[in-house]
């Protein structure tokens, strides 16, 4: 009997239908010499510390570190019945097809059960990118060897064990130290969640510590050929900040006076260039989450849930947890079928479909840049728009629009830059003339947005009149503006996902930055939303409309733990190591051994440290013992008693003495006591 092991009941139902396994039994479907069963997410989980000894029930530093010699799994009580169904079916299976989600976590969901049930039969892998019937049939005809995807299981196991080692040991260590110092909350430390939290804490601190700096600008209205257009004054060198803003009022005032005294300015240069912008790539999950947060106001978990529903329930789009926006070139042959399905779903888009060049090879079709998954695109078969909720339909339309842009020409425009002089003052004007809307037609028509995902504000100028070097333009209005620099804005959930994915750009340590690839990030496409939601659930992050901010507990945690734990670059290095394991280039045992050694070093270094006491002291009011909160005043940020105005105690902000114990996860590194 061939057994198919799926991840969810809905997947099992879809695959069973295609296989002809029509008879439903308890927890599985039965067909001719075929049985289809399923997990319900993870049926088993890593055992808690107390499973390795009763003494671990009590949180005590003396019992740390906890490093299992042999890792144990517990059967989840809530799904124990389905585990027994799977276990009994495995006992009678002649061969097995793993049909869980096509990623490392899906691999782990199946393989952990096989290990626990000691299954030793042959294994094949069903690698699905969509759950519509045509995609299932295609994947069934192209089953992979189980050995091909086994390294994904090792990578997932490495991730799970590293999370366990960091979470169980360091959460206990710093919570106990916090209690000794008088803090009664839990200091929950996570391999991924803590660096993510640190991103928000540092952004909030940057905002609180921000001191506005005044600067001046001059907006001028010019006219030529009876057409008016705006121009901006260019401050001379030596009078500006790094952003080119004039920081000397008298310089701006002198320039404004010179312009008011003149009647015209002379054109000193005119340059026009043709810009050809390719269409945006199909979505990967992070880009979809960032876009939906910005344009639709959706939480990142909500976007993931919707994308999962479009994939799993509606069969309208492909696998959502993708880290690639590119498409395999072989899928180009499927384009006519996909487009026909889109028209069948929504006949109103027929005029747009008629504009497409179905043979166009955009930059999205690139086999070299396709990872285990390709970009999120519509499936081969029609789905029902009417069955979707409003939010599902809005997300689907974005996905559909980005797919259709691949068959439209580039967006083309002419960008003209002109410079003018008047006495000692220099002006600059920018204009833009659209030559061809190209792919933006699809975004305008289908996503109810401005259709412009890629053009910066500097390129949004109006059309300039004909200008020639040496000619003159009349001066109209002149406005001298007194402005102030603005702080960074708080993260939204979508922006935080983007920061997690591109964390290499935020790393300041030059040695670490050199080790990181630009594509290395914190977490994975499948986990980033869950990480943010966990931080919100634990009240480390607070939602404020679309923005999120760090709570007082978050500041306490980040100031309490060593810098290496909260450093996003550290976790990004770990993710590189997981990629090496998934590629079969690093053994699981090496990674876990390094993680164990690093955690052991941290426990020994900080079990008697006064770091927690020092950090908590600054968060407690010296007058009434209430929590101190970070506030901003005219001289910058400071700590203020949360009982204000009843208690007016304050203290300056001082950074905790955080030791820079950084793990090195490069495969080339072999220094003892460092994590892998």
pLDDT for residue 297: 92
Tracing tokens 């793993």 back to the chain, one arrives at 98
Region of 317 on the Ramachandran plot (φ > 0 left; ψ -120 to 50 alpha; else beta): beta
Q: How far apart are CA 228 and CA 226, in angstroms?
A: 7
The verdict on 172 and 261 lying in the same domain is: no
Q: How far apart are CA 486 and CA 482, in angstroms?
A: 13
> pLDDT per residue over 62-83, tens digit each?
999 999 999 999 999 999 999 9
CATH of the domain at 166: 1.10.460.10
pLDDT for residue 521: 80
Q: Examine residue 417 and state whether it is found in any structural domain, yes or no.
A: yes
Q: How far apart are CA 94 and CA 34, in angstroms?
A: 10
Query: Which structural domain range is residue 607 located in?
Result: 158-209+488-618
Phi–psi pair at 414, nearest 5 degrees:
-100, 130
> pLDDT per residue over 207-223, tens digit each?
989 999 999 999 999 99
Q: How far apart are CA 581 and CA 575, in angstroms?
A: 10
b/e per residue 393-420 (b: at least 16 CB within 10 A): bbbbbbbbbbbbbbbbbbbebebbbbbb
> pLDDT per residue over 293-341, tens digit each?
999 999 999 999 999 999 999 999 999 999 899 999 989 999 999 999 9
Which member of 183, 311, 319, 413 is catalytic?
Answer: 319
CATH of the domain at 224: 2.70.20.10
Which of 92-101, 374-383, 415-424, 637-646 has the lowest average pLDDT?
Answer: 637-646
pLDDT at 283 over 60: yes
Q: What is the 3-state secondary structure (H, E, C) of 432-497?
A: EEEEECCCHHHHHHHCCCCCCCCCCHHHCCCCCCCCCCCCEEEEEEEEEEEEECCCCCCCEHHHHH
What percentage of the chain reaches a pLDDT higher than 90?
69
Q: How far apart are CA 351 and CA 261, in angstroms?
A: 56
The verdict on 271 and 416 lying in the same domain is: yes
Active site residue 319: yes
**How much of the chain is in helix, strand and coil states, percent to nearest 5?**
45, 20, 35
> pLDDT per residue over 627-669, tens digit each?
666 677 766 667 777 677 778 888 776 533 333 333 434 333 3
Q: How far apart are CA 555 and CA 538, in angstroms?
A: 13
The model's confidence at residue 514, banded by pLDDT at 50, 70 and 90, is low
> pLDDT per residue over 166-216, tens digit each?
999 999 999 998 888 777 778 899 989 999 999 999 999 999 899 999 999
Q: Examine residue 639 and state whether it is found in any structural domain, yes or no.
A: no
Q: Examine residue 546 and state whether it is found in any structural domain, yes or no.
A: yes
Please say whether the beta carbons of 336 and 358 come within 8 A: yes
Please say whether the beta carbons of 39 and 56 come within 8 A: no
The verdict on 500 and 462 lying in the same domain is: no
Domain count, the chain: 4
Please say whether the beta carbons of 394 and 262 come within 8 A: no
Helix boundaries (H) for 538-624:
552-560, 563-566, 568-582, 588-606, 611-617
Q: Which residues pair with 30 in a beta bridge?
A: 23, 35
Q: How far apart are CA 440 and CA 409, in angstroms?
A: 9
Q: Taking the alpha carbons of 446, 449, 450, 454 in that order, is the dihedral positive or negative? A: negative
pLDDT for residue 663: 41
The verdict on 517 and 613 lying in the same domain is: yes
DSSP H or E run through 303: helix 300-312
The verdict on 329 and 403 lying in the same domain is: yes
Q: Which of 590, 592, 569 is nearest to 660 (CA)?
A: 569
**539 DSSP 8-state letter:** T
pLDDT at 672 over 50: no
Q: How far apart are CA 385 and CA 183, in angstroms?
A: 53
Last residue of a domain, one of 618, 642, 657: 618
pLDDT for residue 369: 87
> pLDDT per residue over 398-438, tens digit each?
999 999 999 999 999 999 999 999 988 999 999 999 999 99
CATH of the domain at 369: 1.10.290.10
User: Which structure tokens are listed for 348?
Assistant: 């109103």
Region of 238 on the Ramachandran plot (φ > 0 left; ψ -120 to 50 alpha; else beta): left
pLDDT, average across residues 46-56: 95
Region of 167 on the Ramachandran plot (φ > 0 left; ψ -120 to 50 alpha; else beta): alpha
Q: Which of 373, 364, 376 is nearest to 338 (CA)?
A: 376
pLDDT, average across residues 589-607: 93
The model's confidence at residue 620, banded by pLDDT at 50, 70 and 90, is low
pLDDT at 266 over 50: yes
pLDDT at 361 over 80: yes
Last residue of a domain, one of 569, 598, 618: 618
Q: Taking the alpha carbons of 301, 306, 307, 313 in that order, is the dihedral positive or negative? A: positive
> pLDDT per residue over 515-550, tens digit each?
666 666 888 888 899 999 999 999 999 999 899 999
Q: Examine residue 650 and state whether it is found in any structural domain, yes or no.
A: no
Q: How far apart are CA 293 and CA 270, in angstroms?
A: 40
Tracing tokens 């200091």 back to the chain, one arrives at 187
Q: How far apart are CA 400 and CA 385, in angstroms?
A: 12
Last residue of a domain, one of 407, 434, 455: 407
The verdict on 300 and 397 lying in the same domain is: yes
pLDDT for residue 503: 84
Q: How far apart are CA 293 and CA 529, in angstroms?
A: 12
pLDDT for residue 630: 66
């Amino acid at each position: 009997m061939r057994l198919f092991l799926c991840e969810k009941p809905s997947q099992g139902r879809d695959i069973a239908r295609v296989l002809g396994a029509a008879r439903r039994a308890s927890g599985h479907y039965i067909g001719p010499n075929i049985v289809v069963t399923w997990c319900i997410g993870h049926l088993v989980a890593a055992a808690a510390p107390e499973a390795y000894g009763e003494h671990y029930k009590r949180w005590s530093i003396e019992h740390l570190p906890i490093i299992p010699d042999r890792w144990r799994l517990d059967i989840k009580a809530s799904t124990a019945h389905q585990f027994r169904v799977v276990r009994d079916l495995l006992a009678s299976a002649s061969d097995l097809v793993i049909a869980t989600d096509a990623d490392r976590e899906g691999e782990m969901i199946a393989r952990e059960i096989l290990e626990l049930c000691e299954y030793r039969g042959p294994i094949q892998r069903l690698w699905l990118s969509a759950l519509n019937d045509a995609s299932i049939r295609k994947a069934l005809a192209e089953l992979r060897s189980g050995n091909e995807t086994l390294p994904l299981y090792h990578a997932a196991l490495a991730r799970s064990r590293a999370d366990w080692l960091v979470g169980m040991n360091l959460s206990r260590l710093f919570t106990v130290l916090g209690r000794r110092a008088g803090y009664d909350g839990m200091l929950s430390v996570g391999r991924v969640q803590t660096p993510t939290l640190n991103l928000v804490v540092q952004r909030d601190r940057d905002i609180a510590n921000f001191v506005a700096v005044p600067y001046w600008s001059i907006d001028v209205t010019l006219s030529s050929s009876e057409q008016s257009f705006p121009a901006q004054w260019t401050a001379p060198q030596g009078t500006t900040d790094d952003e080119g803003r004039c920081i000397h009022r008298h310089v701006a005032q002198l320039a404004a006076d010179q312009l008011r005294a003149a009647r015209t300015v002379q054109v000193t240069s005119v340059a026009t260039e043709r810009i050809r912008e390719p269409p945006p790539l199909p979505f990967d999950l992070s880009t979809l989450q960032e876009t939906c947060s910005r344009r639709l106001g959706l939480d990142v978990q909500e976007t993931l849930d919707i994308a999962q529903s479009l994939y799993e329930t509606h069969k309208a789009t492909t696998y959502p947890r993708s880290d690639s926006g590119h498409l395999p070139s072989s899928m180009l042959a499927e384009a006519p079928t996909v487009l026909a399905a889109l028209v069948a779903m929504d006949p109103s888009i027929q005029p747009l479909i008629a504009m497409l060049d179905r043979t166009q090879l955009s930059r999205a079709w690139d086999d070299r840049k396709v990872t285990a998954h390709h970009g999120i695109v519509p499936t081969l078969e029609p789905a029902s728009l009417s069955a979707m909720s409003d939010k599902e339909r809005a997300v689907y339309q974005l996905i559909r629009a980005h797919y259709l842009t691949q068959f439209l020409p580039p967006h083309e425009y002419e960008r003209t830059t002109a410079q003018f002089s008047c006495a000692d003052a220099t002006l600059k004007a920018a204009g833009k003339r659209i030559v061809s809307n190209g792919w933006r037609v699809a975004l305008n028509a289908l996503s109810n947005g401005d259709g412009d995902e890629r053009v910066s504000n500097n390129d949004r100028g109006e059309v300039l009149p004909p200008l020639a070097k040496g000619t003159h333009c009349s001066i109209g209005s002149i406005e001298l503006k007194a402005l102030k620099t603005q702080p960074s804005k708080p993260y939204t959930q979508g922006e935080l996902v983007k920061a997690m994915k591109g964390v290499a750009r935020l790393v300041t340590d030059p040695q670490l930055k050199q080790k990181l690839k630009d594509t290395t990030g914190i977490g994975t496409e499948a986990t980033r939303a869950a990480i943010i939601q966990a931080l919100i659930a634990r009240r480390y992050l607070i939602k404020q409309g679309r923005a999120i901010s760090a709570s007082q507990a978050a500041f306490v945690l980040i100031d309490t733990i060593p810098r290496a734990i909260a450093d996003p670059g550290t976790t990004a290095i770990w993710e590189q190591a997981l990629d090496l394991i998934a590629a079969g280039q690093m053994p699981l045992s090496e990674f876990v051994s390094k993680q164990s050694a690093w955690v052991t070093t941290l426990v020994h270094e900080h079990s008697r440290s006064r770091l927690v006491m020092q950090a908590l002291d600054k968060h407690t009011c010296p007058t009434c013992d209430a929590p101190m909160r970070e506030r901003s005043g005219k001289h910058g940020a400071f700590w203020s008693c949360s009982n204000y105005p009843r208690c007016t105690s304050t203290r300056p902000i001082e950074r905790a003495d955080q030791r820079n114990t950084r793990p090195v996860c490069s495969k080339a590194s072999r220094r003892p006591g460092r994590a892998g």
